[in-house]
């Protein structure tokens, strides 16, 4: 099953590169740099303020599919509605990520044969998402909550598969993996705007390699 392959890829690679507001040629160059660094799971996000976001997501997922084929597992983030689940699937996405838990979105994702990764923060949200059948729980915003919060949550609720997000660095990435998290969604360190403006994609490749090296030890 494709779902099983995507779940396995996320568990094995442990890194999901998250991009927001980066499209077309700039996105293609970024994706190439990160793939060269070993990144294999990639997420682009809906912009709920943009009336054309469905068209933009569809165009860019198809672009990445065409260039990278099966090398990248592609997901769509900030999915808030069941309609957006179907837009993402039709574009070619393989996993669905949300900042929140919405049971309808989780159910629709699973019914569509895609991997579900809703966001949750509290014990009640985590348990509700798990009971709804979510494949992974995006602990959001893990970076803001801090490692102590993550440890306290993980202790009684370690039966679910956590993905940490927000401000993940090489140091905190290792801490999450040490704790028992499946992996992390990484944005700022891998999509650094200043480096992209300078055309310094080589540094983004090097950063990707460092994260991949850390992940390989777990």
Strand order in the sheet with 41-45: 115-117, 95-97, 73-77, 41-45, 15-19, 183-186, 162-165, 137-139, 119-120
Q: What whole-number distance in Å separates Cα of residue 28 and Cα of residue 138?
A: 25
DSSP class of 157: -
> What tokens were used for 42?
């990639």
Q: Residue 60 — very low, low, confident or very high, per pLDDT cuts 50/70/90?
A: very high
Residues 158 and 171 sit within 8 Å (Cβ to Cβ): no
Which pLDDT tens digit goes with each residue over 15-35? Answer: 999 999 999 999 999 999 999
Indicate the SS3 state at residue 13: helix
Q: What whole-number distance in Å separates Cα of residue 142 and Cα of residue 179?
A: 13
Q: Give the percent of the chain with pLDDT over 90.
A: 98
Region 141-165 average pLDDT: 97
Using only C-alpha atoms, the chain has a radius of gyration, in whole angstroms, of 16
Asked whether residue 7 carries a pLDDT value surpassing 70, the answer given is: yes
The pLDDT of residue 1 is 63
Q: Give the percent of the chain with pLDDT over 70.
A: 100
CA 76 to chain CA centroid, Å, is 8
> What tokens were used for 196?
């992209």
The pLDDT of residue 70 is 87
Torsion of CA 136, 141, 143, 148, to 10 degrees: -80
Asked whether residue 149 carries a pLDDT value surpassing 90, the answer given is: yes
- In the CATH hierarchy, which fold is given to the domain comprising 2-212? TIM Barrel (3.20.20)
Kind of pairing, strands 95-97 and 183-186?
Answer: unpaired
Write the burial class of residue 64 (CB in 10 Å: 0-12 exposed, 13-18 middle, 19+ buried): buried
Region 40-63 average pLDDT: 97
Q: What is the mean pLDDT of the chain?
A: 97
The pLDDT of residue 14 is 98
The pLDDT of residue 114 is 98
Predicted TM-score (pTM) of this structure: 0.96
Which pLDDT tens digit goes with each residue over 70-96? Answer: 899 999 999 999 999 999 999 999 999
User: What is the per-residue DSSP string for 25-47?
Assistant: HHHHHHHHHHHHTT--EEEEE--
Length of the chain: 218
Which pLDDT tens digit goes with each residue over 184-218? Answer: 999 999 999 999 999 999 999 999 999 999 999 99
């Amino acid at each position: 099953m494709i779902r099983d392959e995507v779940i396995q890829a996320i568990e094995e690679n442990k890194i999901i590169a998250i991009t927001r507001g980066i499209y077309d040629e700039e996105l293609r160059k970024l994706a190439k740099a990160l793939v060269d660094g070993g990144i294999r799971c990639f997420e682009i996000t809906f912009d709920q303020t943009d009336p054309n976001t469905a068209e933009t997501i569809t165009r860019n997922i198809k672009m990445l599919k065409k260039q990278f084929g099966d090398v990248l597992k592609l997901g769509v983030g900030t999915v808030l509605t069941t309609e957006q689940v179907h837009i993402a699937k039709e574009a070619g996405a393989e996993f669905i990520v949300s900042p929140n838990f919405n049971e309808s979105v989780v159910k629709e994702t699973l019914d569509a044969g895609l991997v579900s990764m809703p966001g949750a923060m509290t014990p009640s949200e985590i348990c509700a998402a798990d009971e709804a059948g979510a494949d992974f729980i995006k602990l959001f915003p893990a970076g803001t909550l801090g490692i102590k919060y993550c440890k306290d949550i993980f202790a009684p609720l370690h039966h679910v598969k956590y993905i940490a997000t927000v401000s993940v660095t090489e140091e905190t990435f290792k801490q999450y993996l040490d704790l028992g998290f499946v992996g992390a969604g990484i944005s700022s360190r891998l999509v650094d705007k200043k480096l992209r403006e300078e055309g310094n994609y080589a540094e983004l490749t090097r950063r990707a390699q460092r994260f991949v090296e850390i992940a390989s030890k777990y």
